[in-house]
Amino acid sequence: GSFVPPIRNNGSNVGNMTSRCAGKNDDALEYSTKACLEMLCGPDGELPEKLRNLEPRLIEHVSNEIMDRDPHVRWDDIAGLEHAKKCVMEMVIWPLLRPDIFKGCRSPGKGLLLFGPPGTGKTMIGKAIAGEAKATFFSISASSLTSKWIGEGEKLVRALFGVASCRQPAVIFVDEIDSLLSQRKSDGEHESSRRLKTQFLIEMEGFDSGSEQILLVGATNRPQELDEAARRRLTKRLYIPLPSSEARAWIIRNLLEKDGLFKLSDEDISTICKLTEGYSGSDMKNLVKEASMGPLREALRLGIEITRLQKEDMQPVTLQDFENALPQVRASVSLNELGIYEEWNKQFGSLS
């Protein structure tokens, strides 16, 4: 269409920049691919070393689909998890903001693992790190590397780390990292997934030893599947547990206040918190959504047509709405699963 991406034009020899990219010559490239490569060129108009010999379409995919320029999550959006926030602050945010102080003995690890039940805020922490440290955020699900990019995952991993090194400081968030760095050496393990894993570890090794400002954050619900090599590279391992009662109260209040629907008393909130023992952050969000349908349904029941319904026709959400919503939205994590995380945390987690 008519969209024209901003292109840096410093009069350099950008026309030639892809000559050393794998495969195609400039004329064969789409306009959007060219624009994307131009953004990554150095002041000399040349593609950085790491991106040469990579296929332009992979670089474009990383820049457009995996890179997120503004992840929109701040620390204050995350309920509870004080221990994790404190560790992340020291290990990640300060070093990214002050690389001059965090060197030598203080040089930080370059790999962080967030493990725990699903829906507890691991992805939110990854995004908040990038937001708070003013770093570029790259987010990829490891299972998409193995399923969607069959046979090409290895190349995509190279492109990912290559683009990240041009966009420093950078945070690479890998969701479901266990599916990439799993210890299972079953007969079914394909040669290609073994190569993918090796490539990934090589890339990590590369930036771990260098002075690059890249942090890898892996998230997993199955930490017990990670092998020793993966654990060694993910030096800090933080347990992200289910939200405490206070954190659940905070999530309810925060979500309802945002929509101007909050009128619950402290006593109501405390009752809801008692009834939601074992709920994850994501379960809480779903519960609030379901509960906030209550006043809408009630207004319709009283005969107001949906097309004529005004905001003022709906009452704030009540304790009764929550009680009605509870059977619809159950806790998604079982007690059994929690035991596994706690054991693993005792053995391998960074406890303080």
Residues that bind ligand ADP (CB under 6 A): 78-81, 118-124, 219, 243, 247, 251, 281-282, 285
State how far Cα 241 lies from the chain centre.
17
**Letter for the amino acid at 271?**
T
In the bound state with ligand ADP, the residue whose beta carbon lies nearer, of 56 and 243, is 243
Cβ-contact 40, 51 below 8 angstroms: yes
Q: How far is the CB of 217 from ligand ADP (least distance, A)?
A: 11
Q: How far is the CB of 282 from ligand ADP (least distance, A)?
A: 3
In the bound state with ligand ADP, the residue whose beta carbon lies nearer, of 51 and 234, is 234
Closest CA to 133 of 59, 53, 213: 213
Closest CA to 69 of 144, 163, 141: 163
Q: How far is the CB of 143 from ligand ADP (least distance, A)?
A: 13
Query: Is 78 in a helix, a strand, or coil?
Result: coil
Closest residue to ligand ADP in the complex (CB): 281
Angle at 134 between CA 128 and CA 138, to 5 degrees: 65
Q: How far is the CB of 241 from ligand ADP (least distance, A)?
A: 10
Q: Where are the alpha helices (DSSP H) in 65-190?
A: 82-88, 94-97, 122-132, 142-147, 153-166
Q: How far is the CB of 126 from ligand ADP (least distance, A)?
A: 8
In the bound state with ligand ADP, the residue whose beta carbon lies nearer, of 124 and 299, is 124
In the bound state with ligand ADP, the residue whose beta carbon lies nearer, of 99 and 118, is 118
C-alpha span between 319 and 315 (Å, rounded) = 12
In the bound state with ligand ADP, the residue whose beta carbon lies nearer, of 71 and 111, is 71
In the bound state with ligand ADP, the residue whose beta carbon lies nearer, of 52 and 83, is 83
Separation in Å, CA 315 to CA 203, 262, 305: 55, 10, 16
Q: How far is the CB of 115 from ligand ADP (least distance, A)?
A: 9
